[in-house]
């Protein structure tokens, strides 16, 4: 067995172990409780969430991909901040501000041409998300505010700003309600591929480019090495000449830019207007995805797809007498079990490496 296959198996081991435990727990629930549905029925529910009459449904697959796009963008950004040792809890606020900047440009209507407006809207979304993430970094580096606390506070502020905009300048004409903004002008809306497959081709391209660019940057550039050194030990990295502050701020801004595009996608494609909670909690789901993959960016698209399918199957679970909240339970169990098995795997590998060092033959003449 070559080294690449061995590393892949060791990497996949925690996920496989977690899935086995979940299957066993579902079997136990089926046997010893009033729950009639077991692993087979749950898998059937997942299949029905992407199929119709036994065949794959383009419309349902489009729903999965439409949610997967912002989730994978957010998750790839979070992989960067995790590599730098930063818990970017403010990711939701960065999505919100990306959406706010994108909406502001859309309502300003610089042009009636989609070729002009869509790039402007996406660029504004990246700028908004990056600036909101930069604020988290400044609070941390200049004022000593931990990024977790700063991020939580900025999430709340971003939500309140959104509500004020909906209730004020963005309120639909003639409406006294403050639940949604006016509709986004057509020139700033992302078009779908077709009515049966309603997914934005441009959004898919952006997501794929983000995946490839982040993976290559983390594993093949000096910047990626600086991120890793900063995340491992910022003080030691500083002594070695790594610009720790600039590296951390850059990681946050890149993550914010990707989150901003994800937030804009929710407005200019999914919703077509700004709602109070337009992010749909995607930022927090992205945190779960990254907890599963650690710093392995290449795994993000697949784990994000798994989470999307689990969420999408929520309605189908109700038809087999299971509450749709089981999707959240499955997500939480998956994350906790993978982390548990990852810890056990790492400890076993460490103990094995120590045994190898102890039993290694000593060179001749050694004391």
Q: Give domain status of residue 162, yes or no.
A: yes
DSSP per-residue letters across 65-125: HHHHHHHHHHHHHHHHHHHTT---TTHHHHHHHHHHHHHHHHHH-S-S-HHHHHHHHHHHH
The residues with which 52 forms a beta bridge, in sequence order, are 55
DSSP per-residue letters across 197-239: S---HHHHHHHHHHHHHHHHHHHHSHHHHHHHHHHH-HHHHHH
Cα–Cα distance for residue pair 361/367, rounded to 1 Å: 12
Q: Give domain status of residue 330, yes or no.
A: yes
Task: Say if residue 212 is in the same domain as residue 253.
Answer: yes
Contacts of 189 (CB under 8 A, 6+ apart): 114, 268, 269, 272
Q: How many CB atoms lie within 10 A of CB 59?
A: 12
Per-residue pLDDT of the chain (367 residues; tens, 9 = 90+): 566 566 666 666 666 777 777 777 777 766 766 666 667 777 777 777 778 777 778 888 999 999 999 999 999 999 999 999 999 999 999 999 999 999 999 999 889 999 999 999 999 999 999 999 999 999 999 999 999 999 999 999 999 999 999 988 998 877 766 688 999 999 999 999 998 899 999 999 999 999 999 999 999 899 999 999 999 999 899 988 999 999 999 999 999 999 999 999 999 999 999 988 899 889 999 998 898 887 788 889 988 988 888 887 766 666 666 666 666 777 777 777 777 777 777 777 777 777 766 665 655 555 4
Q: Give domain status of residue 360, yes or no.
A: no
Task: Say if residue 256 is in the same domain as residue 283.
Answer: yes
Domain that holds residue 201: 64-308
Cα–Cα distance for residue pair 69/64, rounded to 1 Å: 9
Task: Say if residue 5 is in the same domain as residue 116.
Answer: no
- Over the Cα atoms of the chain, what is R_g? 23
Task: Say if residue 113 is in the same domain as residue 14.
Answer: no
Task: Say if residue 297 is in the same domain as residue 170.
Answer: yes
Q: Give domain status of residue 348, yes or no.
A: no
Cα–Cα distance for residue pair 122/187, rounded to 1 Å: 13
Choose one of 308, 328, 358: the last residue of a domain: 308
C-alpha to C-alpha distances, 4 to 11, 62, 303, 329, 346, nearest whole angstrom: 11, 34, 20, 33, 18
**What element of type H or E holds 51?**
strand 51-52
What total number of domains does the chain contain?
Answer: 2
Task: Say if residue 122 is in the same domain as residue 19.
Answer: no
Q: Give domain status of residue 57, yes or no.
A: no
Task: Say if residue 191 is in the same domain as residue 317.
Answer: no
Q: How many CB atoms lie within 10 A of CB 97?
A: 29
Task: Say if residue 181 is in the same domain as residue 317.
Answer: no
Contacts of 140 (CB under 8 A, 6+ apart): 86, 146, 147, 150, 248
Task: Say if residue 31 is in the same domain as residue 87.
Answer: no
């Amino acid at each position: 067995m070559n080294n690449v296959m061995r590393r892949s198996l060791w990497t996949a081991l925690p996920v496989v172990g977690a899935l086995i435990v979940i299957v066993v727990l579902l079997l136990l629930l089926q046997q010893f409780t009033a729950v009639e549905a077991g692993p087979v029925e749950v898998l059937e529910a997942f299949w029905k969430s992407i199929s119709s009459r036994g065949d794959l449904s383009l419309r349902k697959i489009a729903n999965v991909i439409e949610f997967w796009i912002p989730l994978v963008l957010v998750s790839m950004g979070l992989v960067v901040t995790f590599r730098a040792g930063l818990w970017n809890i403010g990711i939701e606020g960065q999505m919100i501000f990306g959406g706010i900047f994108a909406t502001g440009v859309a309502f300003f209507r610089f042009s009636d041409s989609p070729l002009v407006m869509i790039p402007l809207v996406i660029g504004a979304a990246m700028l908004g998300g990056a600036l909101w993430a930069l604020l988290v970094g400044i609070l941390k580096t200049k004022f000593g505010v931990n990024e977790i606390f700063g991020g939580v506070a900025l999430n709340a502020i971003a939500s309140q700003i959104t509500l004020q905009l909906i209730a004020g300048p963005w309120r639909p004409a003639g409406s006294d309600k403050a639940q949604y903004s006016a509709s986004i002008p057509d020139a700033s809306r992302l078009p779908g591929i077709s009515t049966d497959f309603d997914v934005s081709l441009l959004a898919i391209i952006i997501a794929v480019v983000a995946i490839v660019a982040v993976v290559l940057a983390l594993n093949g550039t000096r910047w990626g090495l600086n991120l890793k050194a900063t995340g491992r030990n910022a003080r030691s990295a500083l002594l070695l000449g790594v610009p720790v502050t600039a590296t951390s701020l850059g990681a946050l801004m890149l993550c914010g830019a990707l989150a901003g595009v994800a937030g804009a996608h929710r407005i200019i494609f999914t919703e077509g207007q700004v709602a109070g909670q337009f992010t749909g909690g995607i930022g927090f789901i992205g945190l779960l995805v990254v907890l599963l993959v650690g710093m392995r960016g290449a795994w993000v698209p697949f784990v994000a797809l798994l989470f999307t399918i689990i969420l999408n199957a929520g309605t189908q679970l109700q038809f087999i007498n299971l509450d749709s909240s089981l999707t959240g339970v499955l997500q939480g169990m998956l994350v906790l079990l993978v982390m548990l098995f990852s810890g056990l795997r790492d400890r076993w590998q460490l103990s094995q490496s120590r045994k190898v060092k102890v039993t290694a033959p000593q060179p001749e003449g050694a004391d």
